[in-house]
């Protein structure tokens, strides 16, 4: 089986309704979201706050649209709360995703995170973990990885702006201090470039541990403005720092080349949180799908 056949393409609902800022897209319904995803040519979806949480109910909505659940975000608080609190919430989340047929669980450490704080500068006030917090994080993630493996699943760690695992050095430390059998990596193009990292470098170094991918692009002028104005992450989102592949500063051609050559066989999810009143979700989802198809056509893969 060729690489391009193994890669599957999904879309995240955050373009329709933003979980961190529910006022963005509050008018967009769950059914509109998944219908437009399918119409734009995607076969997978991550889960947003408007999605039914009963597996059989959700499956009925998705099956008739040719969609399946790819994964869903899980906030861990391993550095700030007792492990048992994160464990119990994780098991509930794991079991729901398992019932939906997902193979990976997106995990991001939210202890000390500033990503959800409207007034906190995302660069200036980015948290930095102490050595003891790093120990709590890496040991806790390995324990979550063991819990995931009980269901034949894997956790994929989401490096993220405004958190303690954002930079190349922080990703390196996380990977070096966790077992590949227990902790995998989510590769997010937008968060890497926004942070100032080199996505190709990260992909080449950790391709054997990357089991989930988010494709998002960056509007360079907006990103520079977020830094210069000391804006928060959420203000950056509202200003339009993120967009879909092919609409910003990132050249996805060499990134896709690396992904294909590595024989990656998981999901690539288009995830570009914007204000849907300014960036029509269906229009941008379709734009991204067409751009990805052009990348594959250039490589004579479709």
What average pLDDT does the segment 217-236 reach?
98
Closest CA to 276 of 28, 83, 12, 6: 28
Secondary structure letter of residue 198 according to DSSP: -
Identify the architecture of domain 3-298 in CATH: Alpha-Beta Barrel (3.20)
Query: Does residue 256 carry a pLDDT above 60?
Result: yes
Q: What is the pLDDT of residues 159-188, one digit of tens each?
A: 999 999 999 999 999 999 999 999 999 999
Given this model, what pLDDT does residue 5 score?
A: 57
Q: What is the pLDDT of residues 19-44, one digit of tens each?
A: 888 788 688 899 999 999 999 999 99
The C-alpha angle with vertex 157 and arms to 25 and 159, in degrees rounded to 5, equals: 65
What are the domain boundaries of the chain? 3-298
Q: Which residue has the tokens 């969609």?
A: 67
Kindly state the helix (H) or strand (E) to which residue 3 belongs, with its residue range: helix 3-6
Given this model, what pLDDT does residue 18 score?
A: 83
């Amino acid at each position: 089986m060729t690489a391009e056949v193994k890669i599957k393409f999904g879309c995240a609902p955050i373009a329709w309704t933003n979980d961190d800022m529910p006022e963005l897209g509050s008018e967009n319904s769950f059914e509109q979201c998944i219908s437009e995803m399918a119409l734009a040519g995607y076969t997978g979806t991550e889960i947003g706050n408007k999605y039914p949480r009963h597996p059989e109910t959700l499956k009925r909505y998705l099956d008739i649209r040719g969609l399946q659940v790819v994964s869903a975000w899980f906030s861990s608080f391993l550095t700030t709360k007792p492990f048992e609190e994160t464990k119990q919430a994780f098991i509930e989340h794991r079991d729901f995703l398992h019932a939906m047929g997902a193979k990976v669980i997106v995990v991001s450490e939210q202890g000390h995170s500033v990503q959800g704080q409207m007034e906190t500068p995302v660069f200036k006030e980015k948290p930095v973990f102490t050595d003891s917090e790093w120990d709590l994080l890496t040991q806790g993630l390995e324990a979550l990885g063991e819990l995931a493996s009980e269901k034949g699943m894997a956790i994929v760690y989401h490096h993220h702006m405004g958190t303690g695992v954002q930079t190349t050095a922080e990703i390196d430390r996380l990977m070096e201090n966790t077992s590949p059998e227990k902790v995998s990596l989510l590769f997010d193009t937008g968060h890497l470039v926004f942070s100032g990292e080199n996505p190709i470098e990260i992909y080449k170094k950790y391709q054997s541990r990357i089991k989930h991918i988010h494709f998002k692009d960056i509007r360079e002028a907006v990103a520079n403005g977020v830094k210069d104005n000391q804006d928060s992450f959420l203000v950056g989102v509202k200003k339009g720092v993120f967009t879909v592949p092919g609409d910003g500063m990132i050249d996805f051609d060499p990134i896709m080349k690396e992904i294909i050559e590595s024989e990656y066989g998981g999901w690539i999810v288009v995830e570009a949180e914007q204000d849907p009143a300014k960036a029509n979700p269906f229009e941008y989802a379709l734009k991204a799908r067409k751009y990805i198809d052009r990348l594959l056509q250039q490589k004579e893969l479709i």
